[in-house]
C-alpha cells in the first residue's frame, strides 16, 4: 500500500541475498515515518517486543527474518533452536509467530550449514509474498460482502466499524480487516470507517486512521466506548476486525475490547465479521477463553499516553492518579457464537468447527 503516494510493504529486504531487513517503526507513527534496519536476531526480537512491528502476520514475518539474521552469524543447530526459542518468547497471543517459526525450522533444519542462511532469507521472503497474496484474497472475499450491503443500501454510504489495526501495516501488505475496505474504496463503493481509538496503545487512532488517510478512505476516529451508541442509532452497517489467534471452533482472540463490540453488534443485529489468514488458526485448541494465552503488558501503557505536543515534540504524559495500580490485558476472546462469519483467503465461512473444516478439509480428522 502507499505512503505519500509511494508503494511500501511493512517489511522488506535490501541487498543481494537479503543482507539488510527494513521495517517501518510503528511506535513513531503517525507523527514520523521512520524506516529502521534490523541487523540481528536481537533487533528482530526487540522490534516485536517493543511493538515497532505488530499485528499478527507482521510479527510472524519479522520472526522469520529474525531466524535468517541469526543464521547469518551462526548456522549451527544450537543457534537455530536458540533463535526460535528467543523469538517464541516475544509475544504470546498471536499464533502466526509460532506458525512462521515452525515454517522456517522445517525449511532449514535438514540443510547443510553453509546453505542455511541463504535458504532462510529465501523462505522468509516467501512467507512475506504469501502473506500479501493471502490478504489480497481476503480482500476479494470481503469485498463481496460489502458489495451486498452497498446494494441493499442503494448507493448510500456503507459504515464499517473496526477495532485496533488490522490494516496493511499489521501485515506485509493489504491488511486483513482493512483489505476488503481498500478494495471497496477502489471499486468506488462509498464506504466510511468508524475507527475505534483502541486504548491503551491507540493503534486505531494512530495507525488505522493514518493508513486510511494515506489512501483517502473516509473515516472517523471514535473513543472506544462509542460503538454501542452508534450501533443503536443505525450508524454501523458492518463490523470487521482482525484476529491474533482463531481456535478450531471459531473463537477469536483480538485486541482488548473486541468482545464488547461483538456483544453490542449482536444486541443490535449488526453483522460482525473477523478477517484472518489461515496461519492465524490454532487447530490444536477449541475453547479460546480457556486456552488462548492473553498477553499482559506494562501498566504504564494504561497510566500514561504518548503523543505530539503543540511544539511538535513527541512526549509521554501521566493520565492516571499517581500511584494507582493498573492492569493491561492486551487481548480478549470473542466466542464463535458472537461472530457472524470468518473471512479467510479461501472464502467466507461460519465461525464453527464445521465452517472452518468446510474451507480447510485437509484438517479433518
Least distance between ligand MRU and beta carbon 16 (Å): 30
Backbone φ, ψ for residue 115 (5° rounding): -100, -5
Q: How far is the CB of 172 from ligand MRU (least distance, A)?
A: 10
Eight-state DSSP code of residue 204: I
Smallest gap from residue 242 Cβ to ligand MRU (A)? 3
In the complex, least distance from residue 183 CB atom to ligand MRU, rounded to whole angstroms: 15
Longest dimension (CA), the chain: 63
Q: Is 131 an annotated catalytic residue? A: no
Q: How far is the CB of 175 from ligand MRU (least distance, A)?
A: 6
118 vs 305, which CB is nearer to ligand MRU?
305
Q: Can you tell me whether residue 104 is helix, strand or coil? A: helix
Name the residue nearer to ligand MRU (CB basis): 29 or 349. 29
For ligand MRU, the closer CB: 175 or 180: 175
Q: How far apart are CA 240 and CA 176, in angstroms?
A: 9
Footprint on this chain of ligand MRU (rule: CB under 6 A):
54-57, 94, 164, 166, 170-171, 175-176, 203, 242-244, 254-255, 330
CB nearer ligand MRU, residue 69 or residue 275? 275
Nearer to ligand MRU, 176 or 278 (CB): 176
- Considering the candidates 131, 237, 244, 251, report the single residue annotated as catalytic: 244
Cell numbers of 98, please?
509460532
* Distances from the Cα of 318 to the Cα of 45, 269, 300, angstroms: 28, 39, 9
> What is the distance between the alpha carbons of residues 81 and 70, in angstroms, rounded to a whole number?
10
242 DSSP 8-state letter: -
Q: Please, are residues 295 and 255 in contact by the beta-carbon 8 Å criterion?
A: no
**DSSP for 123-165, written as a single string:** HHHHHHHHHHHHHHHHHHHHHHHHHHHHHHTTTSPEEEEE-S-
Report the residue closest to ligand MRU, judged by CB. Answer: 242
Catalytic center residues: 244
Amino acid at each position: 500500500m502507499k505512503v505519500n503516494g509511494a508503494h511500501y510493504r511493512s517489511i522488506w529486504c535490501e541487498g543481494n541475498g537479503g543482507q539488510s531487513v527494513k521495517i517501518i517503526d510503528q511506535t513513531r507513527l503517525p507523527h514520523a515515518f521512520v524506516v529502521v534496519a534490523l541487523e540481528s536476531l536481537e533487533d528482530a526480537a526487540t522490534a516485536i517486543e517493543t511493538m515497532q512491528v505488530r499485528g499478527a502476520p507482521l510479527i510472524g514475518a519479522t520472526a522469520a527474518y529474525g531466524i535468517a539474521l541469526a543464521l547469518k552469524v551462526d548456522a549451527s543447530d544450537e543457534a537455530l533452536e536458540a533463535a526460535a526459542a528467543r523469538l517464541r518468547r516475544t509475544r504470546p497471543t498471536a499464533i502466526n509467530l509460532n506458525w512462521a517459526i515452525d515454517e522456517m525450522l522445517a525449511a532449514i533444519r535438514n540443510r547443510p550449514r553453509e546453505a542455511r542462511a541463504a535458504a532462510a532469507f529465501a523462505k522468509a521472503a516467501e512467507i512475506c509474498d504469501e502473506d500479501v497474496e493471502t490478504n489480497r484474497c481476503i480482500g476479494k472475499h470481503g469485498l463481496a460482502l460489502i458489495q451486498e450491503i452497498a446494494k441493499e443500501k442503494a448507493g448510500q454510504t456503507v459504515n464499517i466499524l473496526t477495532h485496533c489495526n488490522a490494516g496493511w501495516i499489521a501485515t506485509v501488505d493489504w491488511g486483513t480487516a482493512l483489505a476488503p475496505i481498500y478494495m471497496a474504496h477502489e471499486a468506488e463503493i462509498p464506504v466510511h470507517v468508524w475507527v475505534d481509538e483502541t486504548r491503551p496503545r491507540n493503534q486505531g487512532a494512530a495507525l488505522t486512521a493514518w493508513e486510511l488517510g494515506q489512501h483517502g478512505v473516509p473515516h472517523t476516529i471514535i473513543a472506544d466506548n462509542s460503538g454501542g451508541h452508534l450501533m443503536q442509532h443505525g450508524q454501523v452497517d458492518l463490523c470487521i476486525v482482525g484476529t491474533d489467534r482463531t481456535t478450531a471452533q471459531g473463537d477469536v482472540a483480538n485486541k482488548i475490547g473486541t468482545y464488547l463490540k461483538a456483544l453490542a453488534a449482536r444486541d443490535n443485529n449488526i453483522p460482525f465479521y473477523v478477517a484472518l489468514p489461515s496461519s492465524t488458526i490454532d487447530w490444536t485448541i477449541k475453547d479460546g477463553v480457556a486456552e488462548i494465552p492473553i498477553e499482559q503488558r506494562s501498566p504504564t501503557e494504561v497510566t500514561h499516553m504518548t503523543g505530539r505536543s503543540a511544539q511538535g515534540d513527541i512526549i509521554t504524559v501521566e493520565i492516571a492518579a499517581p500511584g494507582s495500580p493498573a492492569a493491561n490485558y492486551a487481548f480478549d476472546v470473542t466466542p464463535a457464537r458472537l461472530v457472524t462469519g470468518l473471512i479467510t483467503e479461501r472464502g467466507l465461512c461460519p465461525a464453527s468447527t464445521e465452517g472452518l473444516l468446510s474451507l480447510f478439509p485437509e484438517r479433518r480428522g
